[in-house]
Amino acid sequence: ISGARMYHERVIDHYERPRNVGSLPKTDPNVGTGLVGAPACGDVMKLQIRVDEDGIISDVKFKTFGCGSAIASSSYMTERVKGLSLLEAGKIKNTEIAKELALPPVKLHCSMLAEDAIRSAIRDYEQKRASLPASKQKSK
Ligand code: FES
Ligand code: FES
């Protein structure tokens, strides 16, 4: 059995053609940046969201220094959260990613990285908004 056969073709596809690789301007007040690491292996993922005036995620970019499953997980996550509200995006579980990409149990922590990264990006965005002068904050 070749190692590649253990991976689902959807993983391979996200691995070979990762979506939304890149960066958004970190200092943009509408951009939230999440930077997280996996203690299990030392891999690192950066995931950024741009949030529009309605609180909807309009753009997402990532850079992952890690294994194929981590890259596939972040790529999947960027497609999954585009167009969602922050609340919806914050509810996405790594188990969903792992299931979608058919990750084997030893690769579960790779999908955890993507869950941590989106949460961290949302937190960063919310902290940024909270520190803006009241006049610049969105009215709800
Ligand atoms: Fe580092 Fe997964 S152990 S790439
Ligand atoms: Fe560590 Fe995949 S993120 S092995």
Residues 18-62 have pLDDT tens digits of 999 999 999 999 999 999 998 878 899 999 999 999 999 999 999
Say how many Å lie between the CA of residue 124 and the centre of ligand 2: 23
Helix axes 108-130, 68-81, angle to 10 degrees: 40
How far is residue 69's CA from residue 108's CA, in Å, rounded to a whole number? 9
The residues that bridge with 45 in the sheet, in sequence order, are 36, 64
Q: Is 68 in the pocket of ligand 1 (CB under 6 A)?
A: no
Tell me which residues have their CB closer than 6 angstroms to ligand 2. Answer: 38, 40-41, 43, 66-67, 69-70, 107, 109-110, 113
The pLDDT score that the predictor gives to residue 6 is 55
User: Which residue, by CA, sits nearest to atom 1 of ligand 2?
Assistant: 41
Q: Is the ipTM of this complex over 0.90?
A: no
Helix (H) or strand (E) run with residue 60 in it: strand 57-65
Q: What is the mean pLDDT of residues 85-89?
A: 98
The topology under which CATH files domain 3-128 is Sufe protein. Chain: A (3.90.1010)
Residue with token string 């960063």: 124
Q: Is 43 in the pocket of ligand 1 (CB under 6 A)?
A: yes
Say how many Å lie between the CA of residue 131 and the centre of ligand 2: 34
The pLDDT score that the predictor gives to residue 16 is 86
User: Is 41 marked active-site?
Assistant: yes
* DSSP class per residue in 86-128: HHHHTT--HHHHHHHTT--GGGHHHHHHHHHHHHHHHHHHHHH
Q: What is the mean pLDDT of residues 2-14?
A: 66
The lowest-confidence range among 8-17, 60-69, 87-96, 116-125 is 8-17
The pLDDT score that the predictor gives to residue 121 is 98
Ranked by mean pLDDT, which of 27-36, 63-72, 97-106 comes out on top? Answer: 27-36
Domain locations along the chain: 3-128
User: Is 67 marked active-site?
Assistant: no
This model's pTM is above 0.90: no
The pLDDT score that the predictor gives to residue 7 is 63
The pLDDT score that the predictor gives to residue 136 is 64
